[in-house]
């Protein structure tokens, strides 16, 4: 999904996007398998062309947004790890959603996708094994982003 809804939300636009992308699968086990598939290896860790293209950012604004996102990444990781370790799925969903929302604007598509997958699994109350696998995948993508960002600067 490459749609972005800005706040304040337009109810009609939100309904159109939801209808376009909402798909209800009957087989939960099959959904878990699909959900936990690894991310497409062709997706870049950092891609500033995405916010430039989809949000109309200049190069400078895209870089500034990425910098701000990276400045908050350690705190997000700590919040997500803490919620997971406490088995607080509501808090885990909140912090994952927050990370996912920030990632939409920053050109970090792998973290965005990993957070999105975990958020969807939490919303759908998937099995613990599925949640754990997606949580680990998100942490791995955050680690890759941190490494890539050091090279990127």
Predicted confidence (pLDDT) at residue 20 exceeds the cutoff of 90? no
pLDDT digits (tens, 9 = 90+) for 86-128: 999 999 999 999 999 999 899 999 999 999 999 999 999 888 8
The full set of domain ranges for the chain reads 27-152
Max Cα-Cα span within the chain: 45
Distance CA 132, CA 129 (A): 5
User: 122 near 88, Cβ under 8 Å?
Assistant: no
Looking at CATH, the fold of the domain delimited by 27-152 is given as 1.20.120
Q: Which residues contact 23 (CB under 8 A, 6 or more apart)?
A: none
Q: How confident is the model at residue 21 (pLDDT cuts 50, 70, 90)?
A: low
The enclosing H or E element of 47 equals none
pLDDT digits (tens, 9 = 90+) for 41-80: 889 999 999 998 888 899 999 999 999 999 999 999 999 9
Mean of the per-residue pLDDT values of the chain = 85
| 118 closest CA partner among 135, 101, 103 | 135
**φ, ψ of residue 23 in degrees (nearest 5):** -135, 125
Q: How confident is the model at residue 81 (pLDDT cuts 50, 70, 90)?
A: very high
């Amino acid at each position: 999904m490459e749609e972005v809804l800005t706040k304040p939300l337009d109810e009609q636009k939100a309904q159109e996007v939801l209808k376009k992308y909402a798909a209800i699968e009957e087989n939960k086990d099959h959904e878990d398998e699909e959900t936990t598939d690894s991310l497409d290896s062709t997706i870049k860790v950092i891609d500033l062309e995405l916010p430039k293209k989809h949000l109309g950012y200049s190069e400078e604004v895209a870089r500034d947004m990425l910098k701000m996102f990276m400045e908050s990444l350690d705190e997000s990781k700590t919040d997500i790890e803490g919620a997971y370790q406490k088995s607080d799925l509501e808090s885990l969903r909140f912090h994952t959603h927050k990370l996912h929302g920030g990632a939409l604007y920053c050109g970090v598509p792998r973290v965005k996708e990993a957070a999105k997958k975990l958020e969807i699994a939490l919303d759908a109350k998937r099995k613990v094994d599925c949640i754990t696998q997606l949580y680990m995948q998100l942490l791995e993508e955050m680690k890759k982003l941190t490494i890539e960002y050091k090279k990127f600067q």
